[in-house]
């Protein structure tokens, strides 16, 4: 008898593993994407507001999606006011 | 509870004693629960709970006048922040299930008498959002936990997790933008 039926029996596991691998990759890429946005956001926020747009245009270049995300976060930062802020322990 | 016991446990944990850390967590949690009960009993609509004050009080009760190292102090507040978060979340859940439709607990780090509405936060929503941020960026979520639930300053936070103050500042400012966007749906 050929080993074929055995192989067929194990194949249903392959897609499951495949799905898990893909979702891990998505997680990694989401993490990487946030790290990139975070770095751009932090640097942009250290600049005077008037220079932020130029900075993003220069750095994001062809990636307009990332630039738009950073702009949305800058807006959130500006609106946040004293969100989560309060007195600190001395 | 003798305060020198906590000091000894902090020292033991520093030397790599895991059970000491578990025992500390239980002690800090029960102390925070006990303190929070007093504050929460007096809770009324719109009342704000001062997490910083609670954590400070727990520190005074558990560590007292004992001299502890900067590092152990960081350890203590790291645990306290984590436990404070748990106490508040448990309380909010109980309240929500007891009174369906009642508004969630509002906490603020600001002083109750001049608390601005902007600084008030729905604990359950924040807890959930922080879990999601932790999946994306664990260290950043930790910074928020320490600063918001533990009331740690930038330098204390930096010492507690072993990074520079510049890093803490960047993590904090960007985390706030992320959480604000997430919680306000903007």
pLDDT greater at residue A17 or residue B55: B55
* Residue B5 near residue B16 (C-beta atoms within 8 A): no
Helices marked H in B42-63 — which ranges? 51-62
Asked whether the beta carbons of residue B52 and residue A86 sit closer than 8 angstroms, the reply is yes
Alpha-carbon gap: A51 to the closest alpha carbon of chain B (Å): 18
Q: Which chain B residues are closer than 8 Å to A87 by Cβ?
A: 52, 109-111, 151
Note the pLDDT tens digit of each residue in B69-123.
Answer: 888 888 888 899 999 999 888 888 887 777 665 555 555 544 333 333 334 678 8
CB contact under 8 A, B173 and A42: yes
Listed by start position, the domains of chain A span: 16-78
Mean pLDDT of B30-54: 72
Q: List residues bridging with B107 in a β-sheet.
A: B49, B121
Q: Are the beta carbons of B177 and A73 separated by less than 8 Å? A: yes
Q: Is the pLDDT of residue B48 over 50?
A: yes
pLDDT: is B111 or B154 the higher one?
A: B154
How would residue B168 be classed by pLDDT, with cut points 50, 70 and 90? very high
pLDDT of B113: 35
Range A19-43 average pLDDT: 85
Distance from CA of B153 to the nearest CA of A (A): 6
Least CB-CB distance to A84: which of B140, B170, B176? B176
Pick the range with the lowest mean pLDDT from A17-26, A72-81, B53-62, B111-120. B111-120
pLDDT at A10 over 90: no
pTM here?
0.77
**What is the band of A17 on the pLDDT scale with cuts at 50, 70, 90?**
low
Helix (H) or strand (E) holding B106: strand B106-108
Q: Model confidence at B153, in pLDDT bands (50, 70, 90)?
A: confident
Average pLDDT over residues B16-33: 90
What percent of chain B has pLDDT above 90?
A: 35
**Percentage of the residues of chain A whose pLDDT score is greater than 90:** 38
Q: What confidence tens digit (pLDDT) does each residue in B135-148 have?
A: 999 999 999 999 98
For the residues B119-133, what does the mean pLDDT come to?
Answer: 87
Helical (H) or strand (E) element with B107: strand B106-108
Question: To probe the interface with B, which of A38, A43, A45, A79 has the most B CB atoms within 10 Å?
Answer: A38
pLDDT tens for each residue of A68-80: 999 999 999 999 8
Judged by CB atoms closer than 8 Å, whether chains meet at A31 and B137 is answered as yes
Q: How many domains does chain B have?
A: 1
pLDDT at A34: 95
Q: What is the DSSP letter of B65?
A: T
The parent domain of residue B155 ranges over 3-184
SS3 call for B121: strand
> What residues of chain A have any CB closer than 8 angstroms to a CB in chain B?
27, 30-31, 34-35, 38, 41-42, 45, 72-77, 79-89
Residues of B in contact with A35 (CB under 8 A): 137
Range with the poorest average pLDDT among A26-40, B112-126, B129-143, B159-173: B112-126
pLDDT averaged over every residue in chain B? 82
Please tell me the predicted confidence (pLDDT) of residue B104.
Answer: 53
Q: Which of B55, B153, B176 sits opposite A83 (nearest CB)?
A: B176
Q: In this structure, what DSSP letter does residue B103 have?
A: P
Contact A80 B177 (CB under 8 A): yes
With residue B122 as reference, give the H or E element that holds it: strand B121-122
Please list every residue in chain B whose beta carbon sits closer than 8 Å to the beta carbon of residue A40.
Answer: none
């Amino acid at each position: 008898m050929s080993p074929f039926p055995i192989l067929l029996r194990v194949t249903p596991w392959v897609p499951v593993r495949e799905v898990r691998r893909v979702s891990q990759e998505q997680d990694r890429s989401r993490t990487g994407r946030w790290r990139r946005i975070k770095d751009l956001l932090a640097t942009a926020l250290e600049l005077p507001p008037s220079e932020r747009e130029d900075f993003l245009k220069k750095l994001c270049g062809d990636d307009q999606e990332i630039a738009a995300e950073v702009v949305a976060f800058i807006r959130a930062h500006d609106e946040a006011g004293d969100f989560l802020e309060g007195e600190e322990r001395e | 509870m003798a305060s020198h016991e906590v000091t000894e446990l902090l020292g033991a944990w520093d030397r790599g004693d895991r059970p000491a850390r578990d025992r500390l967590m239980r002690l800090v949690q029960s102390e925070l629960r006990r303190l929070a009960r007093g504050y929460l009993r007096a809770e009324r609509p719109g009342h704000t709970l001062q997490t910083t004050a609670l954590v400070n009080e727990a520190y005074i009760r558990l560590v007292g006048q004992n001299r502890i190292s900067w590092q152990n102090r960081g350890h203590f507040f790291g645990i306290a922040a984590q436990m404070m978060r748990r106490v508040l979340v448990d309380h909010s859940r109980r309240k929500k299930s007891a009174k369906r439709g009642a508004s969630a607990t509002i906490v603020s780090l600001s002083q109750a008498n001049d608390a601005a509405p902007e600084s008030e936060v729905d604990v359950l929503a924040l807890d959930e959002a922080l879990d999601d941020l932790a999946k994306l960026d664990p260290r950043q979520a930790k910074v928020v936990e320490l600063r918001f639930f533990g009331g740690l300053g930038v330098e204390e936070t930096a010492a507690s997790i072993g990074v520079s103050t510049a890093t803490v500042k960047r993590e904090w400012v960007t985390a706030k933008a992320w959480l604000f966007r997430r919680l306000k749906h903007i």
